[in-house]
Amino acid sequence: MIRKISIEEIPVFAEVIRRSFKTVADDFGLTKENAPTNGAFLKDEKLIKDFNNKENMMFGYFLNGVAAGYFNLSEGKEGAYGLRNLAVLPEYRNRGIAGEMIDFARKKVMMLGGNKISIGIIEENTRLKKWYEKQGFIHKGAAVLSHLPFTVGFMEMPIP
């Protein structure tokens, strides 16, 4: 089941994000020092701040009542919505949960009248990039940001 989360659930979902992103942080050598904004190092206070921003919609994925996944949709400009912190706990991966969350996000954006979903990924994470392409995202470019130890890849999913 996917539903909006409550402010009381922030600590639970901050931990879902941290644990989910830690595997990628470990794979790519990310640390608090070289990638402090990576989800592996998310502070509860940051998620609370995001929760209180009316442009953000935060959703949790529950499997048998357990918080197993999370994502955030934020309204941007000209019908674009940003998808951030798509996370599935390692022990729940490879069950189609992330795909269900993407489909839910797509339907939600369509219902809201949006025309695309945008994401940023670690460009060097070719496995993740290919997965997003299978979900319907199109690679739109990449950028080297001096404050990050990886290249940021930009992808979009058009909403018909």
* Model pLDDT, residue 49: 94
Contact at 8 Å (CB) between 35 and 41? yes
pLDDT for res 96:
96
Superfamily of domain 2-158: Gcn5-related N-acetyltransferase (GNAT) (3.40.630.30)
Determine what percent of the chain is predicted with pLDDT higher than 90: 92
Q: What is the pLDDT of residues 51-64, one digit of tens each?
A: 998 889 999 999 99
Give the residue ranges of DSSP H helices in the chain.
10-28, 44-52, 97-111, 126-134
Domain ranges of the chain: 2-158
Mean pLDDT, range 85-108, rounded to an integer: 97
Helix, strand, coil fractions of the chain, as percent rounded to 5: 40, 30, 30
1-53 residue pLDDT tens:
999 999 999 999 999 999 999 999 999 999 999 999 999 999 999 999 999 98
Length of the chain: 160
Which residue in 66, 64, 62, 37 sits closest to 50, CA to CA? 37
**Which pLDDT score is estimated for 101?**
98
Cβ atoms of 116 and 101 closer than 8 Å:
no
- Asked if 28 and 124 count as a contact pair (C-beta separation under 8 A), the reply is yes
